[in-house]
Amino acid sequence: MKLLIVILAIGLLVLAYFWMGVALKFLLLWWMSFVFGIPLLYIGLTFGWLGAIGAVLGAVLLLAITLSWQNSHTCQVLQARLNKAFYFDDI
């Protein structure tokens, strides 16, 4: 029984390590959307139609900025480090 618990604990640690890497990679790629998306949502809900139009335009601009961040050299280097640290290239 103890062996089964040890095997289960090791398996859970491996899964936790993998999902931590997935979460870090997701945050690396989409952090701008989280930081600037919350104020855009607030503006869209608070200021009526004008705020909604501004929020939609801001969301489109935010997507363009996020895509340019994902294609930048800095993001690519950080992404390569995460891939190496969490062995994502082996998948």
Cα within 13 Å of Cα(13), Cβ side: 6
Residue-level pLDDT at 88: 81
- Residues 23 and 86: beta-carbon distance below 8 Å: no
Residue-level pLDDT at 2: 92
Tokens of 17: 């390590």
One pLDDT digit (tens) per residue for the chain, 91 residues: 999 999 999 999 999 999 999 999 999 999 999 999 999 999 999 999 999 999 999 999 999 999 999 999 999 999 999 998 888 877 6
Question: Rounded to whole angstroms, how far apart are CA atoms 26 and 32?
Answer: 11
Residue-level pLDDT at 87: 85
Tokens of 75: 């993001």
Residue-level pLDDT at 91: 60
Q: Residue 71 in 3-state DSSP?
A: coil
Q: Where are the domains of the chain?
A: 24-90
Query: DSSP letter string over 11-45?
Result: HHHHHHHHHHHHHHHHHHHHHHHHHHHHHHHHHHH
Neighbouring CB atoms inside 10 A of 44's CB total 19
